[in-house]
Homo-oligomer: A and B are copies of this chain.
Amino acid sequence: MVCLYFEKNRIVNRYVTYRRKGKPLQTPETAKPRETLHHQRSRETREVILQAAIGCLDEYGYSETTFAKVQTAADVSRGAITHHFPTKQALVAETARLLLENVMRPFERRQANPRTEAEPVHDLIMHSWKRMVASREGRAFVEILVACRTDRVLQDMLRDGLTEFDRRSGASITRLYDGHGPDADDAALLWAIFRSFCRGLIIHQQFVSSPDDIHRLLARFAQIMEKELFVRDPPASENPRT
A27: Cβ under 8 A from any B Cβ: no
A30: Cβ under 8 A from any B Cβ: no
Residues of B within 8 A of A202 (CB): 149
Residues of B within 8 A of A151 (CB): 61
From known contacts A181-B220, A217-B189, infer whether A204 and B197 are also in contact, taking CB-CB under 8 Å.
no
**A200 engages B195 (CB within 8 Å):** yes
A93: min CB distance to chain B, Å:
14
A100: Cβ under 8 A from any B Cβ: no
A149 to B60, CA, bound (A): 9
Pick from B1, B139, B145, B201: contact of A5, CB below 8 A: B1
A166 to B143, CA, bound (A): 23
A63: Cβ under 8 A from any B Cβ: yes
Residues of B within 8 A of A1 (CB): 5, 7
Q: Mark A174-207, 1 if CB is under 8 A from B, else 0.
A: 0000000100001001101101111111111011
**B196 engages A204 (CB within 8 Å):** yes
**A196 engages B217 (CB within 8 Å):** yes
A192 to B192, CA, bound (A): 18
A163: Cβ under 8 A from any B Cβ: yes
Residues of B within 8 A of A221 (CB): 193
Pick from B186, B196, B198, B203: contact of A146, CB below 8 A: B203
A6: Cβ under 8 A from any B Cβ: yes
Interface centre among A195, A198, A220 (most CB of B within 10 A): A220
A147 to B151, CA, bound (A): 15
A25: Cβ under 8 A from any B Cβ: no
Pick from B143, B203, B216: contact of A142, CB below 8 A: B203
A43: Cβ under 8 A from any B Cβ: no
In the complex, 13 of the A-B residue pairs with CB atoms within 8 angstroms, ordered by the A residue number, are A1-B5, A1-B7, A2-B6, A4-B5, A60-B150, A145-B204, A163-B208, A189-B220, A196-B197, A196-B200, A196-B203, A197-B197, A200-B203
